[in-house]
Amino acid sequence: MLWSNRRRPLDLARRGAVLGILNVTPDSFSDGGQHLAVERAVAHGLQMLAEGAEIIDVGGESTRPGAAAVGAEEELQRVLPVVRGLRAAAPEALLSIDTSKAVVAEAALAAGADIINDITALRGDPAMRALAASSGAGVCLMHMQGEPGTMQAAPHYDDVVTDVRRFLAERLAVLAAAGVAAERVVLDPGIGFGKTPQHNLQLAARQRELLALGRPLLLGWSRKSTLGVVTGRPVAERLPASLAAALSAVVHGATVLRVHDVAATVDALKVWRAIDEAGAAT
């Protein structure tokens, strides 16, 4: 299955394409402030590419629970130099812009980004759908109940998997009506975005039900708070839990993994694939 974008289609036949997280923010939940300097951010992006990331996801606004909104101008100042720097240093790399603002997405695409990753599923800005349609960019639609500032205030679902699946199906239909071809879209159930730990675990256990929507799934478990609830570990000690969740996601049909720890995730996927391929050969 292909994920089309402005540069080159990404072949997702081998599950587990790695999308490396590059937060250019002072307040992201696990790496805020680490890559504010442009040179340092670009160097980290290039390092993740060298470690095996197939996409670098650049974000200039924290979406952690309780995060305050950032103005478009400040977000542009954070992300554009990084996108330009990565594009100049890695002309063939796939770059994603993590934003819900059309003005930021449009400028990032002009600077060299290929994919729009919008946590609001293109609902937050009325201009985003037209931009997605006209730009030819790849799109990631994510489910979120509420908005980052309040999303963890008692989230409720009748059935979290059914509700998320219905939402994503509706957003796919809206984008199709706007002229965005299905092959340009991947779907993200939004682990940790307006969901309790039990909601997140239910989504993981029943993830295959989302495959009925016919599009690739992107999962972002890396360092999430649910892993801390399960293990009792702080953010800095959640790598083993993140790898376990990532491999579970792939086993249950995910094709893209959004991660902080690229090298470790790539190694874990290599071992899983080797075992899986050995089993298939017997």
Which domain CATH number covers 51? 3.20.20.20
Torsion of CA 48, 52, 57, 60, to 10 degrees: -10
In a domain, 266, yes or no: yes
Q: What is the DSSP letter of 217?
A: B
Give pTM, 2 decimals: 0.93
Question: Nearest 5°: phi and psi at 186?
Answer: -120, 160
DSSP three-state, residue 121: coil
Owning domain of residue 168: 16-277
The pLDDT of residue 90? 98
Query: Could you tell me which residues are beta bridge partners of residue 21?
Result: 57
Tokens standing for 173?
């239909």
In a domain, 2, yes or no: no
In a domain, 6, yes or no: no
Of these residues, 101, 129, 171, 224, which one is catalytic?
Answer: 224
Query: Could you tell me which residues are beta bridge partners of residue 56?
Result: 20, 95
Q: Examine the residue annotation and report whether 258 is marked as an active-site residue of this protein.
A: yes
Name the burial class of residue 148, with classes exposed (0-12), middle (13-18) and buried (19+) by CB atoms within 10 angstroms of its CB. Answer: buried
Helix 102-111 and helix 128-135, axial crossing angle in degrees, nearest 10: 20
The pLDDT of residue 281? 80
The pLDDT of residue 270? 97
Among all chains, which residue has been given the structure tokens 């680490």?
34
In a domain, 214, yes or no: yes
Q: How many CA atoms lie within 13 A of 153 on its CB side?
A: 8
Residues of the chain with pLDDT under 70: 27-36
In a domain, 50, yes or no: yes
Name the burial class of residue 114, with classes exposed (0-12), middle (13-18) and buried (19+) by CB atoms within 10 angstroms of its CB. Answer: buried
Of these residues, 40, 258, 270, 273, which one is catalytic?
Answer: 258
User: Which has the closest alpha carbon to 252: 224, 211, 223, 201?
Assistant: 211
Number of domains in the chain: 1
In a domain, 10, yes or no: no
| Alpha-carbon gap, residue 219 to 68, rounded angstroms | 24
Q: What is the pLDDT of residues 14-46, one digit of tens each?
A: 889 999 999 998 855 455 455 568 999 999 999
In a domain, 254, yes or no: yes
| Alpha-carbon gap, residue 113 to 212, rounded angstroms | 29
The pLDDT of residue 28? 53
In a domain, 87, yes or no: yes
